[in-house]
Structure 1
């Protein structure tokens, strides 16, 4: 066989490389304990003069932990942005408005059902006592008849009408005080009574009720009635604000005239003149507001004409009169032919 198949260390006469004098000299010069050091274990060699530790295992060795020089900042929850907060507030506000509208619609539906079950709506305005010989003439309930988006405007106009009635009553008091210091002002006092008794119900019937019905049924014809009458009412407010003597109004001219005779009466009439002025200003503002809302409802003059024609032709009195006129015309034409 070849020499490669033989074991070179099997020969007893072969030299041992670890017994070489240079190797043994280095081993003798090595520090004690180094010969027990095993680099593949986690146990460190014992220093010189100390016995190696026994019973230590790898499980007792703790890993090195580095401590930071500065403490980490405390965790704080991210604050919401202002825009997010504003958007959330708007959403909550819209949700509340929708809930209010839904509750109001439910209430109106229940009320309409109760009214239909009871046989129809009963007049409730003016709110007169049951013992009064005259009963209410109109049914007035803004929350039931008027759509939600128009209720605020109708309520303001109703309060404006009440303010109008109160101003006429104050005008009566002012003219009475003027008549007390000047007997020649009896005409103004009498006209003040007439204006209170005439304009209070007429203003309710002639411009407030048309406005109420216009928003209730989206009637173009009622809108035009309101605009026409309310323009005339605004002109009356201006005249009453001026206060021409002999016209039954405690306006500025009348107030300054009475101030020369009596300071207390002049002050009362000046307050009434201020009420007429504020009434005229508020009426002009509400007229513009109602006109702007009228343009958004889709009403027009053509619709008003159609409603007027339909209403006139559906009236039984008009139908009877038209039938009588037609029959008379037919009879006269028949007689002429004979």
Structure 2
């Protein structure tokens, strides 16, 4: 059963944009527990066929003793085969490594920081995969679990909506999706688009149509657009489109029980033509993993069509 409340929160927290106040938020807001705050996503996806490509993220561990409770961080991985036409090569989650507290260094506010970096080759070897069977659009996952010296541990299944999303201060998703991509030009799938809902659930309260600007990012194939409260980020991988997990729909960082999160569908991955960016479809789940503000009773899935202007 999903844990709606996360024991790390004592009172009401807001999205914090002033990093100078970060340590104050940590010391005043944490009663017990720990998070792995997402400080910087350095590299996001793997490039098809390039074994040297990496996923890398800088994290900061926060606990009630300013990092003194950190024992180690465990890194789990798995592979998700998204093209089942030639069989299913998906793998179960395995432990990739344990990162001991001594590997962390003091960050800006004295809290322990480290960079989690995993290469494409390392992932393939960990799951005994055949590189020829991996296609653009397939995915890997990295999941982190923080272990404390008193025996407690925390991961994405013990977080609240306001902990998991990058929109709020703690931005500790614990889980990261790594897409296998075939790089496209930075200008592709950018510019002004008209959007409309062409399929899915009741669109009450959800923007049904309008004009929007899609922008490129510093990461290949990753695009953003201001569709909801949080800028909706998505990745083009092969002919699939994947919205980022744990996006914020309404930005209610003050009350995690009312916070709606967005993410990808598990069955519909959009439609696009890599050599023609004039029209494409993308499916978005509002209430991702049950984070819909109503205990999983209002999870909805929408398919948008975007037409370039």
* TM tier relative to shorter chain: under 0.3
Q: Larger strand proportion, structure 1 or 2?
A: 2
TM-score, normalised by the number of residues in structure 1: 0.19
Higher relative contact order (CA 8 A, sep 6+): 2
Larger radius of gyration: 1
TM-score, normalised by the number of residues in structure 2: 0.20
